[in-house]
Chain A
């Protein structure tokens, strides 16, 4: 299931540091995580009656934050040769 997609993705992976720096997928996921984070902060500020919404948002936000941490680390390794 995961393997089938990664094989599909492998053909389009960034091959050079410059391509890694400009990989659009990363930008989309970062925008999504920032959007989720801002929404979570606003909902949290709105009061404790929105606890269920916070829990639902965490279902997307927490794992995607880990994804962002992983790919930032990987991209850093990929673009270091540029420096």
Chain B
């Protein structure tokens, strides 16, 4: 078992087929630092300052990333800025769209639609095909292994993350609907953005180290859980999913693992364990 795991890690560390150009000059390094700084400040403004400072900071981050991307259009750091511009769009939607008059699962549909749209436009602007984003077939065994692992990962996520329990008296229909929303607008959306788009475009700049970018971005986006142990846990999972996505060139495995993780963490384990 240990040998097989080590073999997987070794094979996952093979060089990327995408040729990494690296930071070709100081300006490229500056652009990369600015992009990371914009997102970090925006997220901290949301967490520490509240909704209005967070909205203003994410709007500034969005304009900054678009501007940096346009200024360095044909360079990998510029392309990464355009891919990262989807993140403030997601955050602005997440801040503006929840409403007390609507059931919670509809929030994720309303947030997911503009985010999918932003990912699609980013992919078109960056001339990436669906296969480049990891939307391609992969051996079913890989998908099955990660889906099964998702049950255990979901239990750990339930223990560490302490999610809010499902509403009392939730009906079967609501469970099915919530499950569909979690899979499509939770797992698939997140993997498409972080592993499919950001990690893929970051690989043009950083090669193998692109996994660090997607994992760091995952950590940044999970800071809002206000639970450091959960943030570290999700970063570890992001590294695992990043390695799988890089090795297979597909996000099918990570989506399966993430979907089962979410379903078990948010629905199954809370209903079973209380």
Interface residues on A, range: 35 or more
> How near does chain B come to A10, taking the closest CB pair, in angstroms?
6
- The verdict on A66 contacting B73 (CB below 8 Å), with A14-B100, A25-B55 known, is no
Complex alpha-carbon distance, A1 and B59, angstroms = 19
Q: A5-B224, A70-B97, A74-B101 are in contact. Are A59 and B85 (CB under 8 A)?
A: yes
Given known A-B contacts A8-B226, A9-B95, A1 and B100 have beta carbons under 8 A apart:
no
Does B221 have its Cβ within 8 Å of any Cβ on chain A?
yes
Give Cα distance in the complex from A63 to B63, angstroms: 14
Q: Quick one: which of A4, A26, A53, A59 has the most chain B CB within 10 A?
A: A59
User: How far in angstroms is the closest Cβ of chain A from B209?
Assistant: 22
With a cutoff of 8 Å between Cβ atoms, the chain B residues found around residue A74 in the complex are 97, 99, 101-102, 110
A28 touches B59 (CB 8 A): yes
Say yes or no: A8-B113 contact (C-beta < 8 A), given A1-B190, A28-B59: no
> A10, A14, A52, A62: which contacts B121 (Cβ < 8 A)?
A62
Residue B241 CB within 8 A of the other chain: no
- Residues of chain B at interface, number, CB under 8 A: 58
> Helix, strand, loop or mixed for chain B's interface?
helix
Chain A interface main SS type: helix
**In B64-110, which residues have CB < 8 Å from any A CB?**
66, 69-70, 73, 82, 85-86, 89-102, 104, 107-108, 110
> Using Cβ atoms and an 8 Å threshold, which residues of chain A touch B221?
1, 4-5
Chain B, Cβ-Cβ closest to A19: B100
Nearest CB on A from B202, distance (A): 17
Q: How far is the CA of A70 from the CA of B66 in the complex (A)?
A: 23
Residue of B nearest to A70 (CB): B110
Interface stretch of the complex, out of B12-20, B23-31, B46-54, B246-254: B46-54
Contact of A9 among B66, B98, B121 (CB under 8 A): B98
Bound-complex Cα distance A62 to B101 (A):
26
| A1 cross-chain contacts in B, Cβ below 8 A | 186, 190, 218, 221-222
- State A71–B101 Cα separation when bound (angstroms): 12
Docked complex Cα distance between A70 and B93 (Å): 9
- B92–A67 CB distance below 8 A: yes
Chain A residues with CB under 8 Å of chain B are 1-10, 12-15, 20, 24-26, 28-29, 32, 52-53, 55-60, 62-64, 66-67, 70-71, 74-75, 77-78
4 nearest interchain CB pairs?
A: A63-B114, A4-B224, A63-B118, A4-B225
